[in-house]
Amino acid sequence: MKKTLSPPRTAPLTAAATAILDVAEQLAQTRGYNGFSYADIAAQLGVTKASLHYHFPSKAELGRALIERYRGLFATALEAIDAHTLEPQEKLRQYVGLYESVLSNERMCLCGMLAAEHSTLPPPMQEELKLFFDANERWLTTVLDKGLRAGVLRFMEPAQERARVLIGTLEGAMLVARSYGNPQRFQRAAACVLADLGALHASRRRTKKA
């Protein structure tokens, strides 16, 4: 199975750089790119702001690296789903599971968050953001298309269009669920859309606790 995703075109991350990204990621996912500062990261790591600039010269570069890594992790997760020969319905459920695991940490999807701030982001971040959504769209389109052809999924639109709807729905459901502090809202919404696609059995859906 060929590697199709995320060539590491930047130098591999040092341990310090990774630690910085970890903290920055959590902050960006909860407060947004404009909602955290170098001071916040430095305080959590117990270092000074100046040392952060050694690893990431500017906040713009930090932000870009943030998305690049996130995108790579997501790509790896999608490859992992593809590694097993699963039915399209099951792949979709696992895809939704990726979102659920993000939300269960009381975080918003990094890229959904940054999409809201899109017009205030430095161009390199805007481009990384686009790459993330495009990669998701391609993967979902393939899965949906196979499911449709196999007769195990149902929808009327072109698979690509349906993929876009799905991404938007999951991001939006996350956004609202998090602002209510209620991950269950996301789970129910996800179950709804999976059911619409025929990816959930009716019996299975009602087993979600009300």
Partner DNA sequence: GTCTATAGGTGGATAGAC
Partner DNA sequence: GTCTATCCACCTATAGAC
Give the residues lining the site for a copy of itself (CB under 8 A).
30-32, 34-35, 108, 112-113, 115-120, 126, 129-130, 133, 156-157, 161-162, 164-165, 167-180, 185, 188-189, 192-193, 195-196, 202, 205
For DNA, give the closer residue by CB, 14 or 101: 14
Could you write out the DSSP letters of every residue in 79-135?
HHHHHS---HHHHHHHHHHHHHHHHHTT---HHHHHHHTGGGS-HHHHHHHHHHHHH
- Is the alpha carbon torsion for 33, 57, 135, 130 positive or negative? positive
Task: State the nearest-atom distance from the C-beta of 185 to DNA, in Å.
Answer: 31
For a copy of itself, give the closer residue by CB, 25 or 171: 171
For a copy of itself, give the closer residue by CB, 18 or 120: 120
Task: State the nearest-atom distance from the C-beta of 13 to a copy of itself, in Å.
Answer: 26
Query: Of DNA, a copy of itself, none, which one does residue 117 interact with (CB within 5 to 8 Å by kind)?
Result: a copy of itself
